[in-house]
Amino acid sequence: MEKKKLTLEEAKKAGGKKYKEKVQKVLEEYENLPDEKKHQSHLYYGYGKGKTTAAIGLAFRALGAGLSAAIVEFDKGHDQAKEHYYERRIFLKLKELGYPIELYSTGCERMNEDGTFRFKNAQEDFAEAKRALELTKNLIINGKQDLLVLDEFVAAANYHLINEKDVLEILDLYDKNRRFELVITGHKLFDGLEEKVDLITENRKVKHYFDKGIQARKGIEY
Q: Give residue-wise pLDDT tens across range 35-65.
A: 888 899 999 999 999 999 999 999 999 999 9
CB 99 within 8 A of CB 85: no
CA distance 195 to 199: 10
Q: Give residue-wise pLDDT tens across range 129-166.
A: 999 999 999 999 999 999 999 999 999 999 999 999 99
CA distance 134 to 106: 11
pLDDT at 178: 96
89 against 162, higher pLDDT: 162
When the pLDDT of each residue in the chain is averaged and rounded to a whole number, the result is 91
CA distance 71 to 147: 8
38-212 CATH choice from 3.20.20.70, 3.60.15.10, 3.40.640.10, 3.40.50.300 = 3.40.50.300
Could you write out the DSSP letters of every residue in the chain?
Answer: -PPPPPPHHHHHH-S-HHHHHHHHHHHHHHHTS-HHHH--EEEEESSSTTHHHHHHHHHHHHHHTT--EEEEETT----SS--S-THHHHHHHHHHTT--EEEEE-S---B-TTS-B--S--HHHHHHHHHHHHHHHHHHHH---SEEEEETHHHHHHTTSS-HHHHHHHHHHHHT--SSEEEEEES---TTTGGG-SEEEE---S--GGGGTPPP-TTTT-
**What's the average model confidence in pLDDT over 11-30?**
80
